A and B are shown apart, each in its own frame.
Chain A
Amino acid sequence: GDSVTQMEGPVTLSEEAFLTINCTYTATGYPSLFWYVQYPGEGLQLLLKATKADDKGSNKGFEATYRKETTSFHLEKGSVQVSDSAVYFCALTATGANSKLTFGKGITLSVRP
């Protein structure tokens, strides 16, 4: 079945540091890929997405590129802020209107001032 693997956490960075959060996936066909963010005490929000190979999703300074050859969708940000502290989830959904989201375990990011 489909699966998503995220790097182990938590991750602690200083403000303005560079961020990379690794995500790899296993799926048949051509899934769509997502990053969701969960701020403390809240539900999940879609951060960015990519629907086909080589697509780059971007939002709020975050970027991720759909790499089919390495089955990866790593999240990057050039300069993190304290307000980026949250839990980040990588997810995929297979093609088809009734497909369900499959999530990775999530990783907690803490950014120090």
Chain B
Amino acid sequence: SQTIHQWPATLVQPVGSPLSLECTVEGTSNPNLYWYRQAAGRGLQLLFYSVGIGQISSEVPQNLSASRPQDRQFILSSKKLLLSDSGFYLCAWSEGGRIEAFFGQGTRLTVV
């Protein structure tokens, strides 16, 4: 069966520090991968999605970037965090031919 791992679960980082959140999927190949952010009271915002290695689409201009160095690995990064980057970050995957997405447990990021 397929599983998705996302870590860390919580993170407190100072303003201006770098960020790296990692997501890996097991039990499938060539998944579509997604990074969402859930800010308080603002719902889910799609940040990046990828349909293959090295293929990243950005939905909103921002202080973040994403990379997909391996088929089942998706990384969210920032060189310098801002206070406004605080939120709940969710990684998700879907499989071509199947329409639903499956989510990781999320990372609670607090920038102080």
Q: Which residues of B contact A103 (CB under 8 A)?
A: 36, 43-44, 46
Residue A65 at the B interface, CB < 8 A? no
Q: Which residues of A contact B104 (CB under 8 A)?
A: 43
Which of B38, B97, B101, B105 is within 8 Å of A101, CB to CB? B101
CA distance A5 to B4 in the complex (A): 28
**Closest Cβ–Cβ distance, residue A92 to chain B (whole Å):** 10
Q: Are B44 and A106 in contact (CB under 8 A)?
A: yes
Q: Are B99 and A98 in contact (CB under 8 A)?
A: no
- Name which residue of chain A comes closest to B42, CB basis: A105
- Residue interface bits B2-43, CB-to-A below 8 A is 1, else 0: 000010000000000000000000000000101010100011
The residue in B38, B44, B90, B102 that gathers the most chain A C-beta atoms within 10 A of its C-beta is B44
Q: Which residues of B contact A93 (CB under 8 A)?
A: 99
Q: Which residues of A contact B100 (CB under 8 A)?
A: 34, 46, 49
Q: Are A51 and B44 in contact (CB under 8 A)?
A: no
- Residue interface bits A78-113, CB-to-B below 8 A is 1, else 0: 000000000001000100011111111110000000
Range of interface residues on A (Cβ < 8 Å): 20 to 34
CA distance A26 to B58 in the complex (A): 22
Q: Which residues of A contact B101 (CB under 8 A)?
A: 46, 101
Q: Are A49 and B99 in contact (CB under 8 A)?
A: yes
**Closest Cβ–Cβ distance, residue B49 to chain A (whole Å):** 5
Give B contacts to A, CB under 8 Å.
6, 32, 34, 36, 38, 42-44, 46, 49, 51, 90, 92, 94, 96-97, 99-106
16 contacts between A and B (CB under 8 A): A34-B100, A43-B105, A46-B100, A89-B44, A93-B99, A97-B96, A99-B99, A100-B32, A101-B34, A101-B92, A101-B101, A103-B43, A103-B46, A105-B43, A106-B43, A106-B44
Name the 8 nearest CB pairs between A and B, nearest first. Answer: A105-B43, A97-B96, A43-B103, A103-B44, A44-B103, A43-B105, A32-B99, A43-B106
